[in-house]
Each structure stands twice: as C-alpha cells, then as structure tokens.
Structure 1
Amino acid sequence: MVRIPRRFLIHTITVEAYLGRTSKGDRYAAGREVACLVDEQTRLVRGPDGDEVTSTSTAYAGPEEQAIPPASRVTLPSGRITKVILAKRRDGGRLGTPNHTEIQLE
C-alpha cells in the first residue's frame, strides 16, 4: 500500500468527532491531533445527503484517518474552527498513487 509520505503532512488539525445531538446541543468526542496537508481552496462538493455544498478547505491525511464522521468539529492551523462535510478514503489501488483520506471542510 502506497501512502502519502509523512514529509508532506506538514500541518496539524484538531478533530473532535461528532457524537450526535442531545437536548443540550451537539456532542463531540475529545479532540485529537491529525497530521495532514491543508489546502484552503473553495470548491463545490457533494455532502453526505447528496446536496451540493461549498467547501472552503480540504485536509489530506493518512489512510488510517477514516473514522471522521460528517459534522465533526475541526480546528485548522490558522485557529479557524470549521466542520467536516465528508471524509472519504482514496485508494490508489494498483495505480501507485498514494492512499489517503480526503477531509472536506465547510
């Protein structure tokens, strides 16, 4: 399995996994740091419900970072707090392209 080389994962984000909604509001797991490459570029993406959503940033992390549910809270290196639209595993298969997780952010 070819993966993104660690030398490209130059940023660190803090991910608080979304646990659900309660009568007191949204619940999140404790924050954990994730090594990644952050690309702050605005683009149109499809959310988990199929609707088009504007993504202002994308983080590229190792393939092991797949358990990031939509609506999880993310703190970017700049300090900006945003939410996950969708985290997708990208598998290069036999093409030799790096396997990784693409985290699309609001």
Structure 2
Amino acid sequence: MTALPPWIFCHRITIEPYEGRGAYGEVWGAPVPDVPALVTHTVKKVRNPTGDEVTSTAQVYAAPGLTCPAGSRITLPDGRTTKAVQVSPHTAPGLGLPECTEVSCE
C-alpha cells in the first residue's frame, strides 16, 4: 500500500465518529482532534448510505484506514461543523498508486 505523502495533508480536522442512534437521538464518539487531512470546498452530488442523491459542499482526503463512518460530525479548518455523507476508501492493491480515504461532507 502506498499512501499519499504526509505533506499533502496540510489541514487539521476534528472527527466525532458516528455510533448510531440511542434513546435520545444520534450518538457520536469522543472527538478525535488534529486529524491530518486535505480539505476542498467543491459542490458536487453524491449518494448517501440509503442511496439518495445529496449535495456535498466539502470533501476531506485523509490517510488510508481513517475511522469516519457516514454520519460522523466533522469540524473543518474554518470552524464549520458538518456531517460525513459518504466515505470512500481509494485503494489500488499491487499497483503502487497512492491510496487515501475520501469523505464527502454536507
């Protein structure tokens, strides 16, 4: 596995992993601060876990193996809090190409 070089991840985000629903609504895990990432602000359409087409206004690229299930809360470098809509691991086993995790945010 070849990961993207660390210097690519010039931003820092905070992730609160989605853990499901409880008696009082959505439940998130403890915040994980200072996660290295590359954040882009591009508007594009993506599909959420139920298959509905939604609009993503920010995309986060991080190291392979990032723990950020759909529904997780993410605080972006500009202070905006958003939710992960779609998480896509980009892998290329045996090809020597860079790998990363892409998170599309609301």
- With the length of structure 2 as denominator, give the TM-score of the two structures: 0.92
The gaps in structure 2 that reach 5 residues or longer are none
Bigger strand share: 2
Mean Cα displacement is larger for which, 53-62 or 43-52? 43-52
Uncovered stretches (5+) of structure 1, i.e. residues with no partner = none
Aligned pairs (5 A) from 1:1-106: 1-33=1-33, 34-65=35-66, 67-106=67-106
* Aligned-residue identity in percent: 41
Aligned length: 105
Decide whether the 8 Å contact of 2:46 with 2:86 is kept in 1.
Answer: no
Matches of 2:3 and 2:22, distance apart in 1 = 38
Shift of 1:100: 0.4
CA distance in 1, matches of 2:20, 2:95: 37
- Which amino acid letter does the alignment assign opposite residue 19 of structure 1? E
Q: TM-score normalised to the size of structure 1?
A: 0.92
Instruction: Give the superposed CA RMSD.
Output: 1.2
* Per-residue deviation, 1:85: 0.4
